[in-house]
Amino acid sequence: MLRKTFLATVCASALLTATASVFAAPTQDLKSEQGTLEVTPIVKGLEHPWALAFLPDRQGMLVTERPGNLRVVSTDGKLSDPLSGVPQVWAKGQGGLLDVVLSPDFKQDRMVYLSYAEGGGEGDKAGTAVGRGRLSQDLTAIKDFRVIFRQEPKLSVGNHFGSRLVFDRDGYLFITLGENNDRPTAQDLDKLQGKVVRIYPDGKVPNDNPFVGQKGVRPEIWSYGHRNPQGAALNPWSGTLWENEHGPRGGDEINLIERGKNYGWPIATHGINYSGLPIPEAKGETAEGTVAPHHVWEKSPGLSGMAFYDGDRFKAWQHNVFIGALVNQELIRLQLKDDKVVHEERLLGELNKRIRDVRQGPDGYLYVLTDEDDGVLYKVGLK
């Protein structure tokens, strides 16, 4: 009955959204090292989509659009009207509606978590906020939305919000936070810029966080010294949180996040300023007391969403991790052995589109979002 209601709702809204709802475009065959890729457009007409989350029981996907819309994409490629109840966002520069994840207990509580840029700072500055609300049974609204976390202070004029959300196996919520393009704050433990934080699903701070009880230190902090982490995922085999982040000019990196560790920015970096000059605070590629990147790109691809592949459908992709690239307009495939990157392949370059997010679907395919005015959701598999 629920599925019939859902299909009726989505089909009705699809008629309203007309040209933005159905994308009857052909599948493309593209080359890859593992064989021919099948790349199928599912829906177009998305306005700078940022993230997606799969609903259970083949009810489709939630997709965020940076200007502030949350939509449902059905399994047959129909796009709903924007859901009501979504918070007002600060949609400037890189800011707006960003990540979306479902509660680990979604089938019982129907909670949806959203991260977004929130205004209200001095001089019209913004910071990352996270809140949650219940998805209505008819998939048209987020009910009783409540903010559970705010980045403080608000320092961004449009840059470096970070903003990936990841639940671990124990149900803790991790939030990646950019340093708002204010470099020194990533090392300041009294601020939430350039941090990964760990909270309970209701926003409370766990007592075993590494800096709880220390004077002048934010208790939410789990790790620090991050620049702009726009990708994060839980390793399904080890349970470790992996995070990727933009370097400046060079020095994009992957980090394996550990409790209380300093990941170096800006005192340790492989990159330089966009002007070509060194980072003023940098002591070199490494610095005492900091953790070196697990993997680094000397030339920045512009990293974004991140997904491990642990499905059974495409065995050639097992124990691989996929990362979107905004600058290089590619999907990066990293082959792993004992968590070490042993090989890299660049995919989907023929699309010439900024890859914003990648997720493994319940059907074993990869789903990829492109960050464009006319963004597209693609389904990607091997023949």
Positions annotated as catalytic residues are: 160
Structure tokens at 236: 């399904």
In the numeric block, which tokens belong to residue 27? 């599948």
CA distance 192 to 197: 8
Rounded distance, CA 355 to CA 327, Å? Answer: 9
3-state secondary structure of 256: strand
| Dihedral-angle region of residue 73 (phi above 0 means left; psi in -120 to 50 means alpha; beta otherwise) | beta
**Sole residue written with tokens 């790109």:** 297
Q: Token digits for 45?
A: 């007409």
Q: Give the Cβ contact number of residue 121 at 10 Å.
A: 18
DSSP-derived letter for residue 5 is: H
Q: How far apart are CA 183 and CA 194, in angstroms?
A: 8
What is the distance between the alpha carbons of residues 281 and 271, in angstroms, rounded to a whole number? 12
Two structure tokens written together for 80:
């709903």
**How far apart are alpha carbons 217 and 212 in whole angstroms?**
8
CA pair distance 163, 155, nearest whole angstrom: 15
H/E element, 176? strand 173-177
**Sign of the dihedral through C-alpha 187, 189, 190, 196:** positive
